[in-house]
């Protein structure tokens, strides 16, 4: 039986491809963004207790009241946001939160500005919601917001802009001045900002996270998306949340009810308690990621790699051309995983037009010290084998 589907023509995500190759070749996986630990034992025990002693039936569609209240309180303490539980919708991961947001807020023909390099789910989800992605490419090595280019891309059909802050894959954390400029554009042109902020706690500098939701004039036009998986290093839990003005949260909730409807209650309950942990816990976790970043960064620089700065996320980027490697990023990544035993992600896979992407690869450093040291050795061999 024949059929026609928008998704049929899409390639398998590069993260799944590289992770599959890493398994096949028994390689170190610095491609897909997940820690190689199991997450906080205390949080896992809370989930176990909830599974055995709590309800295992459908929780409320919008999320457990305890978790919605905990999300609002957490952002009040950590980011100074004034939220009520009614402004929070719990989703099955941040990607579902994105899907629900696009489906709820876009009409066919609406245009959405996307900043490249972009998380690979954005464009397919926008298209499935009937929207049209309009791409603005940020430039290495600093990946600054080009406010003039963004404004030039705005038309009468533009409905929203997607802001990933901190930004995967670049590791960029946008400055207060950049965010204020973007907020002004949203207000001047009546745009909704859909803010993917899942890396808000994975910070490598002393710069605090600033949410567009907290800026003047943005309360009623911002969707803030968070992820417990990234906050606690338990990416497989797929517990996400949307924060928005009540009328926006309400329509996103209605889209969510026809996607996953709800999220496992024992995981929600554990996250609700974890969000109340002392701020020191989150700061110490960030320091652990920072130590891993510095280890991998210094080791690769010693081996001749040109490492771009990261300010947040699990990721760092390497410029192959500046590292004297005259190979396309995709070729380097395939050769590295198959021959040298380490998986990475070519940034070209995260561009609308791969041929316009710089020769840069992304590595995930959320790994144990011994794994990172071995990865440095393997990447050094790969570089020597592919030098100009």
Can you tell me the mean pLDDT for 236-263? Answer: 98
Instruction: Quickly state the pLDDT bin for 35 (edges 50, 70, 90).
Output: very high
pLDDT for 175-191, tens place per residue? Answer: 999 999 999 999 999 99
Share of the chain above pLDDT 70, in %: 97
pLDDT score at 43: 98
pLDDT for 112-167, tens place per residue? Answer: 999 999 999 999 999 999 999 999 999 999 999 999 999 999 999 999 999 999 99
pLDDT score at 9: 65
Mean pLDDT of the chain: 96
Share of the chain above pLDDT 90, in %: 94
Q: Give CA–CA dist 90/113, Å, rounded.
A: 25
Classified as helix, coil or strand, 366 is coil
pLDDT score at 1: 47
Residue 338 has pLDDT above 80, yes or no: yes
Q: Give CA–CA dist 157/49, Å, rounded.
A: 50
Please report the domains of the chain, with CATH numbers, ordered by start residue.
11-34+280-385 (3.90.1150.10), 41-277 (3.40.640.10)
Can you tell me the mean pLDDT for 322-330? Answer: 95
Give the burial string for 82-116 (b: 16+ CB within 10 Å, else e).
ebebebbbbbbbbbbbbbbbbbbbbeeebbbbbbb
């Amino acid at each position: 039986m024949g059929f026609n589907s928008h998704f049929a023509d899409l390639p398998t995500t590069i993260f799944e491809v590289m992770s599959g190759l890493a398994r096949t070749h028994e390689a170190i996986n610095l491609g897909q963004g997940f820690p190689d630990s199991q997450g906080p034992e205390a949080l896992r025990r809370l989930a176990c207790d909830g599974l055995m002693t709590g309800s295992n039936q459908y929780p409320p569609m919008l999320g457990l009241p305890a978790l919605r209240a905990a999300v609002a309180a957490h952002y009040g303490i950590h980011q100074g946001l004034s939220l009520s539980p009614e402004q929070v919708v719990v989703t099955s991961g941040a990607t579902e939160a994105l899907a629900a947001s696009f489906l709820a807020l876009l009409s066919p023909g609406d245009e959405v500005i996307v900043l490249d390099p972009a998380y690979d789910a954005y464009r397919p989800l926008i298209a499935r919601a009937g929207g049209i992605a309009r791409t603005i490419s940020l430039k290495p090595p600093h990946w600054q917001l080009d406010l003039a280019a963004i404004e030039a891309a705005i038309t009468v059909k533009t409905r929203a802009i997607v802001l990933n802050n901190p930004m995967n894959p670049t590791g960029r954390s946008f400055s207060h001045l950049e965010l204020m400029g973007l907020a002004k554009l949203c207000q001047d042109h009546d745009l909704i900002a859909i803010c993917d902020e899942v890396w808000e706690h994975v910070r490598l500098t002393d710069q605090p996270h600033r949410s567009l939701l907290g800026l003047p004039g943005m309360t009623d036009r911002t969707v803030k998306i968070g992820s417990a998986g990234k906050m606690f290093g338990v990416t497989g839990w797929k517990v996400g949340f949307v924060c928005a003005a009540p009328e926006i949260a309400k329509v996103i909730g209605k889209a969510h009810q026809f996607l996953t409807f709800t999220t496992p209650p024992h995981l929600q309950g554990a996250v609700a308690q974890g969000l109340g942990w002392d701020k020191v816990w989150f700061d110490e976790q960030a320091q652990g990621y920072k130590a891993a970043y510095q280890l991998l960064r210094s080791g690769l620089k010693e081996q001749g790699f040109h490492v771009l700065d990261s300010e947040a996320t699990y990721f760092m980027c390497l410029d192959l051309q500046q590292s004297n490697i005259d190979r396309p990023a995709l070729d380097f990544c395939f050769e590295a995983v198959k021959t040298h035993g380490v998986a990475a992600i070519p940034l070209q896979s995260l561009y609308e037009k791969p041929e316009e992407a710089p020769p840069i690869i992304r590595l995930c450093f959320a790994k144990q010290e011994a794994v990172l040291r071995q990865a440095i050795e393997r990447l050094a061999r790969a570089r020597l084998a592919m030098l100009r």
